[in-house]
Amino acid sequence: MIIQSEKVQVNAAQKDICTFLSDSNNLLHLLPQDKISDFKSTVEECSFKVQGGVTISLIQTGTEGDSKLFLKSGEKSPFPFKLTIQLDQIEGTTEGYILFDGEVNAFLKMMVEKPLTNLFNYMSNKLMEHFKG
């Protein structure tokens, strides 16, 4: 299952955004605080519980310059997935979005597609707000 978040324009340099996102501790600032709990993090990984009691863990797996940041699901996640955060420098701003690639069956897809789409759109918009300055 592939999900792509909305594309947002962030008023910051691609490098600054990539540096911010490269520290998993900062992902807390992008998550809906009323829908998560038990956030734990290091520079390389984080985990948190979402409403309904499911734990999600994310592990950074690398970057491609300042334009892409790669993460994958950790062992606590309910199914395997990869996240790519794409950052494109466009005329003094950066366009960013999240690409999710998850291995889910048809039944699970019906349950998780809308909440995940909403989560990634929320995170993209919070990133834009964070850099409004």
> 52-62 pLDDT, tens per residue?
788 999 999 99
- Cα separation of 87 and 13, whole Å? 10
Residue 65: band (very low, low, confident or very high) from pLDDT cuts 50, 70, 90: very high
- For 38-62, what is the mean pLDDT? 94
Domain that holds residue 85: 2-130
The number of folded domains in the chain is: 1
Q: What is the CATH number of the domain that holds 52?
A: 3.30.530.20
Please choose, from the candidates 63, 53, 67, the residue with its C-alpha nearest in 3D space to the C-alpha of residue 22: 63
pLDDT at position 133: 63
